[in-house]
Amino acid sequence: MRAEGEITGENGSVVAHRTLSGAPGDCDALARAVGVWASLVLDTERARSGSSDSPAPATAVASPGAAPELGVADSHPEITWPAPAVLEKPSPEHDWYLHNDDERTLELGVGAFLMAGTGANTVAGASPYLVVEAGHGVFLRPSLAIGQSVAPLASPTELRATWGAARFDACLRLPGLYTRHHGIQLDTCGGADLGFTHFGAAPPGTAGTPVSVVTALFASIGPSLELRGELGGSMAVALRGVAGLNVVRAGFEDGTGAQVEAPLWSGRIELALSWRLR
C-alpha cells in the first residue's frame, strides 16, 4: 500500500512532495504518517518565513511537462523527517487461534498415560505422537498408544491385559497473548481410537478372565483437551485429557460363564514432552 502527499504554494508551485509505503491494509498508519510529514513541512516553512535573517524561499511555477520539483522536505537538511517505521508482522500467537503463514509447525512428542474403560482395569503405558499444522489454525495429531493393566485382572492370578490403539485427532490451537514460544496454549481436539485389548488364558472357574487367549477389538470416538506449556526454545510439556464413547466393546466369556465387556465410556490422562522440529 502506498500514500502520496504534495504541498503546493499559493502560486501553484510544489513546496514539498513525499511518497510513503506500508503494509497492505494499514490505511490508518499511512494517513498518520502523511499528517506528521505535512506538519513538519508546514512548521519549517512557517519558521523560514518568520525569520528576518533568512531569505524567503524561492518559488517557481512548474512548466508544463516538467518533472515536479522536490520541496524543502526533500532538499533541505534542517527538516528532520524520520524514516518510515518498520511494520513488524504480528506473531502467530496474536490471533484468537494459532496459525503460521510462512512455515507450518511440526512437532514430535512422547507421553505416559493412565487409562480406564478398556475392560482390563486401569491401563498404564506410553504414547508417541506427531503434531502437524495443516493450515487455517488446524493441527493434525496422529498417535499410538500401548499399555498394560496396572493390577491383575482377577485374584489369585497375576494375569494382566495388554491394550494398544492408534488415534487420530484434528485440533484447534488457542494461544495466550504472549511472546512467541513462551507461554501456555490450549488444544481442543476431536478424534477416534482404533485398537485391541489382549487377554491371556486363566484357569477355568476364574472370574473376570477368559479360559483361552482373547484379542478383543476396541474403538471409541470423543473429544480431548490439552494444555501445552512452552518451556522456551523447541521443547514443551503437555497435560492431556481424552474422553471416549466406546462404539465397539467386544468382550469374552470368563471362567464362570459370565460375559465381560468394556464399559460404555473410556477416558485417559496423559503427561507428555514434545520437541518442535520446525
Q: Using an 8 Å Cβ cutoff, are 113 and 127 in contact?
A: yes
**The C-alpha cell of 124 is what?**
498404564
Q: How confident is the model at residue 88 (pLDDT cuts 50, 70, 90)?
A: low
Structural domain boundaries in the chain: 2-75, 94-276
As a whole number of angstroms, the distance between CA 189 and CA 246 comes to: 17
Q: Which residues contact 155 (CB under 8 A, 6 or more apart)?
A: none
Kindly provide the b/e burial profile for residues 225-260, where b requires at least 16 CB atoms within 10 angstroms of the residue's own CB: ebebebeeeeebebebebebebeebbbbebbeeeeb
Q: How confident is the model at residue 275 (pLDDT cuts 50, 70, 90)?
A: very high
CATH number of the domain at 94-276, please? Answer: 2.40.160.20
DSSP character at residue 91:
P
Does position 184 have pLDDT exceeding 90, yes or no? no
Mean pLDDT of 225-238: 86
Give the best-scoring range by mean pLDDT among 122-131, 169-178, 208-217.
Answer: 122-131
Of all residues in the chain, the percent with pLDDT exceeding 90 is 31
Residue-wise pLDDT tens digits, 194-215? 999 998 888 787 777 788 888 8
Give the best-scoring range by mean pLDDT among 92-96, 119-123, 145-149.
Answer: 145-149
Q: How confident is the model at residue 86 (pLDDT cuts 50, 70, 90)?
A: low
Q: How confident is the model at residue 165 (pLDDT cuts 50, 70, 90)?
A: very high
What are the angstrom distances between the C-alpha of 188 and each of 2, 95, 127, 139? 41, 16, 18, 10
Q: What is the mean pLDDT of the chain?
A: 79
